[in-house]
Amino acid sequence: MQTSPVIPISPTKPRTVFPVLLAASFCHLLNDMMQALLPAVYPILRGELALSFVQVGLMTFVYQITASLFQPFIGHYTDRHPLPYSLPVGMASSMAGLLTLAVAPSYGVLLVGAMLLGLGSSIFHPESSRIARLASGGSHGLAQSLFQVGGNFGSALGPLMAAFVVLPRGQVGLAWFALAALGGIVILSGLGHWYKRNGHAKRPSGAAPARHPTLSRKQVSTAMAILIALLFSKYIYLASFTSYYTFYMIDRFGLSTRDAQIYQFVFFAAVAAGTVAGGPIGDRLGRKLVIWVSILGVLPFTLLLPHVGLTATGLLSIVIGFVIASAFPAIVVYGQELMPGRVGMVSGLFFGFIFGIGGIGAAMLGALADWEGIRFVFLVCSLLPALGILTMFLPSQHELKES
């Protein structure tokens, strides 16, 4: 009897689900655009409700604390108890925050609106980052880049929306963005359905997340502390550009406000491009290499920038924005690989940390600018990428992947 040859069946390689990734990225754009509206409308709120600068600062503090501190705790909880439909709930919280801010008759109600807005962000980031990883098909860096670039564009759109939509209408103009939030709720409900339907939300309640198969708890803790330090250097440096680059260009080169804002827009565009590039490069060449190059490798350019002319400053800002932005997707995925089974907690920790440190850093740099001038801020910040030397103490890609 003749037997037919056995044909080996190779396991199907998981495919990247681009519609899910693009939907998550678009919702990230909506979320971060709404979050960026709050500081953008401070002058309007201050004028209509006669707020002091101290009250404005306290509102920022309440918003940032809510948005940053809750993220790792929400991520930790949903790692153990998946909540597929928490994402539309988070967007609904942001919508409620905007509507509260739009009709707030008093300062106390403004604080409630800021808190609801921050809570929405704290729910959105860890869970949507988890969905991006699940839809990656193994291309985790690419997925994280696509997801993150939506947030970058949203943050850039916030001030523009405030100028063209809110400013002509006053405080109540914020209510128009409830329509964007409603659209986000619909899309995120669909993502939650995909998350549940594909069997990704079936972790037994209370199950302990897996530990790294080869690295000790001490090695993992040390590596996470290094990643936090690298994020500190990156986002304090970026805070100097985000909050003070236009002032620097006006003070150093005598540009008009409009021309200085054009240079700032070019920098933001370079940051967006670097965010897109960093993830796929990390998938191909290794995330540790990307972290090395994007933080320590940018040091010569940051050191040079405060000492060159206008054209060179513009060109260097493009290089710096592109290179330094490529680090974040690599750092997030590296952290997720350090702590398998804790995708939500790691994402929440990193997103919450950069949100909080960006706000604190902007305040610190503002005080430094008042004390020694805006040029001194850029001189001091130019040294921050030197912390990239800590990357040498991270486990190698081989150690990270070894099982």
110 and 67: one domain? yes
pLDDT at 199: 52
In a domain, 360, yes or no: yes
Q: Are residues 66 and 176 in the same domain?
A: yes
CATH number of the structural domain spanning residue 254: 1.20.1250.20
The region that residue 16 occupies, defined by phi over 0 for left and psi between -120 and 50 for alpha, beta otherwise, is: beta
Q: Based on the fold, state whether residues 256 and 158 are members of the same structural domain.
A: no
Give yes or no: residues 341 and 258 share one domain. yes
Tell me the one-letter amino acid at 115.
M
Residues 176 and 254 in one domain: no
99, 130, 338, 354 from 30: Cα distances, Å: 15, 18, 30, 19
Predicted confidence at residue 398, as pLDDT, reads 66
* Any domain includes 300: yes
pLDDT number for residue 2: 47
136-186, pLDDT tens digit by residue? 887 877 888 888 888 878 877 877 787 788 878 888 989 999 999 999 999
User: Shortest CA distance to 124 belongs to which of 40, 39, 33, 234?
Assistant: 33
pLDDT, tens digit (0-9, with 9 covering 90-100), for 102-135: 999 998 999 999 999 989 988 888 888 788 888 8
Mind listing the pLDDT tens digit of every residue in the chain (403 residues)?
444 444 344 445 568 888 998 999 999 999 988 988 887 777 788 778 887 767 877 787 788 788 877 888 887 787 787 788 889 999 999 999 999 999 999 989 999 999 999 899 888 888 887 888 888 887 877 888 888 888 878 877 877 787 788 878 888 989 999 999 999 999 999 998 898 877 554 444 444 455 676 778 888 889 889 999 998 898 889 888 877 888 888 889 998 877 887 888 888 888 888 888 887 887 788 888 888 888 999 999 999 999 999 999 999 999 999 999 888 888 888 888 888 777 777 877 887 777 677 777 777 888 888 888 889 989 999 999 999 999 999 887 666 665 4
- Kindly state whether residues 54 and 119 are assigned to the same domain: yes
In a domain, 193, yes or no: yes
Give Cβ neighbours of residue 183 (< 8 Å, ≥ 6 apart). 30
146 occurs within a structural domain: no
Q: Are residue 263 and residue 189 in the same domain, yes or no?
A: no
Is residue 349 included in any domain, yes or no? yes
Residue 368 belongs to some domain of the structure: yes
Is 209 a member of any domain?
no
Please choose, from the candidates 358, 57, 378, 380, the residue with its C-alpha nearest in 3D space to the C-alpha of residue 246. Answer: 378
Same structural domain, 179 and 59? yes
Structure tokens at 126: 């860890």
CA-based angle 154:87:66, to the nearest 5? Answer: 70
What domain range includes position 102? 18-140+151-197
pTM: 0.71
Buried b vs exposed e over 388-403: b needs ≥16 C-beta within 10 Å? bebbeebbebeebeee
Domain shared by 89 and 178, yes or no: yes
Euclidean distance between CA atoms 128 and 163, whole angstroms: 28
Which of 197, 231, 262 is the endpoint of a domain? 197
Whether residues 223 and 162 share a domain: the answer is no
d(CA 104, CA 234) in angstroms, rounded, equals: 36
Q: Does residue 114 belong to any structural domain of this protein?
A: yes
Average pLDDT, the chain: 82
Domain count, the chain: 2
Q: In terms of domains, do 42 and 87 share one?
A: yes
> Given 197, 232, 264, which residue is the final one in a domain?
197
Based on the fold, state whether residues 176 and 317 are members of the same structural domain: no
Q: What integer pLDDT is reported at residue 330 of this predicted model? A: 84
Q: Hey, CA dihedral for 192, 197, 200, 206, is it positive or negative?
A: positive
Q: Summarize pLDDT for 349-368 with one digit per residue, the tens.
A: 887 777 677 777 777 888 88
